């Protein structure tokens, strides 16, 4: 999965012949799973039509502060666009547009949006050879880099003037490759390996029946997805669940029983930097599993149970430098029980859920958690989507390594 997947990209198109390449660029962004909005300078419309880019991006194209043909003259909010974007790319970036960006000469909608943008800004220069090497252009490059903007270098090749040399805008495929590589290199969990458990375990009674619980696995899957989006390499050990996840950075290991989850966790634990135990593992299992289906022969039926191996406890005993995070789902004495679990299982952080909180627990899209670290610092969080809780958990991981 591309690191551009889900990203909100603002593409600024200025008036150079290379503008015709933006049709292919928008298609590649959409193919990568990005959401794209396009801003065109008036001059760029001579090289590619707004209709083309609107159709490909599936969004209206912006060019001015209000639409001339609109009788109500509704204002196009450049500030809102600048805040919407996860990243802004100006391609092609002509000498004229680069100069305006460098000096703040705000005479069109594109520059106004650029000056309002809070996200990373990339620019792909496109101009003739002598223009590319001119001192004023080099000065613009220098100023924009000092502002924190990232330059996607022009390529060598045949130019519109008939000359051949540096100044040709990078090909759309190369721009995508550049953006992906640059974004990946800046991801805070790049190079980290994280082990995550998710879902329930099923403990067999006979070939047909099992003891299980109501865990959907969503919390663990959301953590895995968020970790991969932050650059981590993830091993997701999942009990039985209907959920699926596709990401080249996530290795899904499917298990059924607590013993299988125990074995998988111990197989990978020594090689990871972080372990997050979000699975709802069965505490007990039948002592004897019937070989054949048990018949309904009596009014009463009892099953002798024995404890399963405590996965988190076992990992806490052998951990070296791993950052170990556990979950606690409690119905009473929540804080006290969570603190005891931190000490007993040698945890660095516990994510406490209470079934007393509305919107928390199994089979819900939301969760309300309290973080408690090994120093017993307590941090209650608001009710949030499980996706947002996953990000909060991983922010704790980032703080551990980098703060």
Catalytically active residues, by annotation:
213
Where does residue 363 rank: exposed (0-12), middle (13-18), buried (19+ CB within 10 A)? exposed
Q: Please, are residues 29 and 172 in contact by the beta-carbon 8 Å criterion? A: no
Half-sphere exposure of 195 (CA within 13 A, CB side): 26
Q: What are the CA-CA distances from residue 334 to residues 16, 207, 224, 329, 351 (Å)? A: 63, 37, 26, 8, 11
Show the DSSP H helices in 58-133 as ranges: 78-84, 95-103, 109-116, 129-133
Please give the order of strands across the beta sheet that includes 121-125: 35-40, 8-13, 87-93, 121-125, 150-151
264/375 Cα distance (integer angstroms): 30
**Across the strands, what pairs with 236?**
196, 252
Helices (H) and strands (E) in the chain, counts: 13, 21
Q: Please, are residues 230 and 249 in contact by the beta-carbon 8 Å criterion? A: no
């Amino acid at each position: 999965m591309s690191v551009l997947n889900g990203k909100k990209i603002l593409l600024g198109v200025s008036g150079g012949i290379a503008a015709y390449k933006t049709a292919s660029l928008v298609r590649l962004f959409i193919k990568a799973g990005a959401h794209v909005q396009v801003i065109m300078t008036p001059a760029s419309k001579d090289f590619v039509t707004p209709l083309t880019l609107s159709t490909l991006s599936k969004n209206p194209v912006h060019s001015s502060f209000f639409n001339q043909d609109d009788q109500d003259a509704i204002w196009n909010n450049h500030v809102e666009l600048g805040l919407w974007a996860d990243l802004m790319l100006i391609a092609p970036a002509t000498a004229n547009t680069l100069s305006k960006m460098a000096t703040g000469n705000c005479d069109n909608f594109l520059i106004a949006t650029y000056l309002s943008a809070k996200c990373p800004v990339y620019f792909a220069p496109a101009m003739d050879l002598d223009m590319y090497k001119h001192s004023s252009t080099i000065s613009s490059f220098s100023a924009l880099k000092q502002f924190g903007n990232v330059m996607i270098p022009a390529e060598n090749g045949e130019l519109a003037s008939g000359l051949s040399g540096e100044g040709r805008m990078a090909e759309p495929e190369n721009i995508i490759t550049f953006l992906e590589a640059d974004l990946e290199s800046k991801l805070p969990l790049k190079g980290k390996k994280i082990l995550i458990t998710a879902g329930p375990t099923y403990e067999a009674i006979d070939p047909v029946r099992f003891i299980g619980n109501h865990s959907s696995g969503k919390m663990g899957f959301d953590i895995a997805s968020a970790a991969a989006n932050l650059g981590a390499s993830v091993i997701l050990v999942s009990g039985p669940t209907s959920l699926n996840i596709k990401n080249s950075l996530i290795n899904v290991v499917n298990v059924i029983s607590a013993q299988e989850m125990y074995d998988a966790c111990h197989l990978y634990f020594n090689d990871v930097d972080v372990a997050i135990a979000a699975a709802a593992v069965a505490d007990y299992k039948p002592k004897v599993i019937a070989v054949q289906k048990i018949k309904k022969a009596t009014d009463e039926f009892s099953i002798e149970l024995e404890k399963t191996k405590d996965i988190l406890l076992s990992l806490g005993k052998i951990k070296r430098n791993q950052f170990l995070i556990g979950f606690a789902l409690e119905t009473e004495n929540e804080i006290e029980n969570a603190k005891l679990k931190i000490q007993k299982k040698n945890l660095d952080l516990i994510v406490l859920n209470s079934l007393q909180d509305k919107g928390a627990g199994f089979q819900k899209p939301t969760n309300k958690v309290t973080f408690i670290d090994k120093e017993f610092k307590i941090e209650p969080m608001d009710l949030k989507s499980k996706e947002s809780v996953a990000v909060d958990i991983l922010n704790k991981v980032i703080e551990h390594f980098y703060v």
